[in-house]
Amino acid sequence: MRLNELKAHELLPMIRRKEVSVEEVVAAILHRISAIDSKIRAYITVAGEEALKKAKEADARLAGGEPARPLEGLPVAIKDNICTQGLRTTAASRFLEGFTPFYDATVVERLKDKGAIIIGKTNLDEFAMGSSTENSAMFPTRNPWDLKRVPGGSSGGSAASVIAGEAVCALGSDTGGSIRQPASFCGIVGLKPSYGLVSRYGLIGYASSMDHIGPMTRDVRDCALILGAIAGYDSKDSQSYPGELPDYTECLVPDIKGMKVGVPKEYLDEGLSGTVRDAFMKALDKLEELGAKVVEVSMPSLKHSLAAYYVISSAEASSNLARFDGVRYGYRATGSDDSMTMMAMSRGEGFGPEVKRRIVLGTYVLSAENYDKYFGEALRVRSLVTRDFREVFEVCDCLVGPTSPTVAFEAGEKTRDPLEMYLSDVYTVPPNLAGIPGVSIPCGFDEEGMPIGLQIMARQYNEEALLRAAYAFEQATEFHKRNPEIEKYTKEPAGGEMSV
């Protein structure tokens, strides 16, 4: 097995025992990127020179007798809407194409403090607004399982980099499904934590009341490892959770006997494809086989959650993106005679079509004559969704459902109809409205070999139950062990990585 195919919990002990050097690990990842990323386009920026420099520094410290830090030498990819000091951060927008932050986001700072090495910045839908990574102003990212298909969005670059072996793990952001849906489409594990569990400081805001940062990994153990590294109170985030946190790796026991698992009947509506439904029903059988008690529950408010989400998120986006005006930083249009015209031209030229669509919608619903009719009503729906989850978790330990109603679709298939694209998030939006955690794990493949995801949800700040159920299912199945045959898309073998 090559180094770039190993998981974090396999690589880190090898580095500590000096069976492999950090430089060899980083070089293997960089070679992989060089060999295949021209086809997949997972990265906007690759920090190869700096990553190798940090790898040599880590090897020198270890050779000098210093103890290895928890994530010493781990190559991590960062979604390009998360600020990285001295490393370009674009949010996949023309507006920020040349922007280099002077500080690290809290999650990046915590990863670096624990010894992780930032390998590069991954592609996304512009300002995280999309479900396919086709809205990037840079280029679209392709799904490593089938280059004709999308990797999901908006964290499509992060998901593709992990399953393709171009990063050991990655960080994504999730406002309405942007970690879990691409995780489902690419066959990896993607976790959206409880709101406030992971600091948002340094994340370029989309909809601040629903923005989350979380891990995207090859398996559940790596997911728990990275979550533990980035979670915790941060005074720079006003919504940060101040409570004590467990060691998430300690809850990874393959035993869910007696666990009560609820299935919202609203997650099994007519929009669900037959293939995904079949895989989901088999997943329920497996959970029962493992000793869980599976029960049907009803959450009537869920049918309104998608509409409420797009009203609230667009309103918050309209407010958050008002700072991009061409005056202080970012893209500035030329040829204007006054500041107001310059700002209008800068926004018109700097923002892409989807971002403009959501800004216009958000501005409309926040107008005085429409505020209560749309935005106020959406907030009331949000309260109902939160109430429904709270009531269900009084009788269930977890909820499960499909992550997405379909497998990854072909590029261009849904770009002409925004509403059809928005429906890709119909199952992932409710946890964001309620602030509860959700994780997507592989639970099957369709007849063409495309991955299918299972979403598991738990009450707020109960990531332990979420991870326990996910780990038990993963250990009882083989889906997470399959990899795409990427070499068939390249002219030359994508080999050459250090083998172990």
Whether 154 sits among the annotated catalytic residues: the reply is yes
What letters, b where the CB count within 10 A reaches 16 and e where it falls short, cover 5-16? bbbbbbbbebbe
Of the candidates 382, 256, 249, 262, the residue with the CA atom closest to the CA atom of residue 312: 382
Instruction: Please give the C-alpha separations between residue 433 and each of 138, 343, 388, in angstroms, as whole numbers.
Output: 30, 33, 11
Catalytic annotation, pick one of 54, 79, 121, 192: 79
Whether 155 sits among the annotated catalytic residues: the reply is no
Instruction: State which H helix or E strand residue 366 sits in.
Output: helix 353-366
Task: Enumerate long-range contacts of 485-494, CB under 8 Å, 24 or more apart.
Answer: 486/36, 486/39, 486/40, 486/144, 486/164, 486/165, 489/36, 489/39, 489/147, 490/35, 490/36, 490/39, 492/35, 493/35, 494/32, 494/35, 494/36
125 touches 132 (CB < 8 A):
yes
Whether 93 sits among the annotated catalytic residues: the reply is no
User: Phi, psi at residue 431, to the nearest 5°?
Assistant: -60, -30
Q: How many CB atoms are closer than 10 A to CB 335?
A: 7
Rounded Cα gap, residues 7 and 12, in angstroms: 9
Catalytic annotation, pick one of 21, 131, 136, 154: 154
Q: How many CB atoms are closer than 10 A to CB 87?
A: 18
Of the candidates 295, 214, 297, 285, the residue with the CA atom closest to the CA atom of residue 473: 285
Q: Which amino acid is at 290?
A: L
DSSP state of 353: H
Rounded Cα gap, residues 385 and 268, in angstroms: 17
Three-class SS of residue 118? strand
Pairing mode, strands 117-122 and 43-46: antiparallel
Q: What is the number of residues in the chain?
A: 500
Q: Which residue has the tokens 């090559």?
A: 2
Catalytic annotation, pick one of 136, 161, 173, 178: 178
Q: How many CB atoms are closer than 10 A to CB 238?
A: 10
Rounded Cα gap, residues 465 and 252, in angstroms: 9
Of the candidates 454, 471, 451, 403, the residue with the CA atom closest to the CA atom of residue 284: 454
Of the candidates 405, 411, 417, the residue with the CA atom closest to the CA atom of residue 149: 411
473 touches 290 (CB < 8 A):
yes
The catalytic residue positions are: 79, 154, 178
